[in-house]
Amino acid sequence: MAQKPQEFRSVTRNKKAYHSFEVLEEIECGLVLVGTEVKSLRAGHCSIAEAYARVIDGELWLMGTTIPEYRQGNINNHPPARQRKLLLHRRELERFSKKVRERGMTMVPLEIYFQGSRVKCKIGLCRGKKMYDKRQAQREKDDRRSLDRAMKRGR
């Protein structure tokens, strides 16, 4: 029997991370969640603006992510700001944690999405941008936009 293609549906993106950090490398992780968290994510409720990932006792944990309580949930609802475990192959985890320890980088969640029925998190290995880097990136973005407009008018 032919396998149907897995759908990709984004729940949230961390636009602030792309502005504040230079993303050097990205990796896809699984997320360990409880049932009401998944239901809340399916409704599109999640915030990763202040979130980061940290290695604790050889495991990768997602900190600072807020998934609000499920509205139709009962007394067994989840706490909104708990730490969530990320699933990653050991070699990938060791490689990422080594880079974070050596070079003073940080791991930031870039996006949370559904891939089929599974919840995935895209983690970026990031280096913080200085203020002048942010200005330079904004200037380049504005230049590209004005060039595109000029090309469009020229047609």
pLDDT digits (tens, 9 = 90+) for 54-90: 888 888 898 888 888 877 766 777 767 788 889 989 9
Q: What was the pLDDT predicted at 91?
A: 92
Q: Where are the domains of the chain?
A: 8-154
C-alpha torsion 50→40→32→60, nearest 10: 0
pLDDT digits (tens, 9 = 90+) for 78-137: 767 788 889 989 998 888 888 888 777 888 999 899 888 888 989 988 888 777 777 888
Average pLDDT, the chain: 83
CATH fold label, 8-154: Small Protein B; Chain: A; (2.40.280)
Mean pLDDT of 10-21: 83
Higher-scoring residue by pLDDT: 8, 107: 107
Query: Is the pLDDT at 142 greater than 70, yes or no?
Result: yes
Which residues have a Cβ under 8 Å from the Cβ of 52 and sit 6 or more positions away? 62, 63, 64, 106, 107, 108, 109
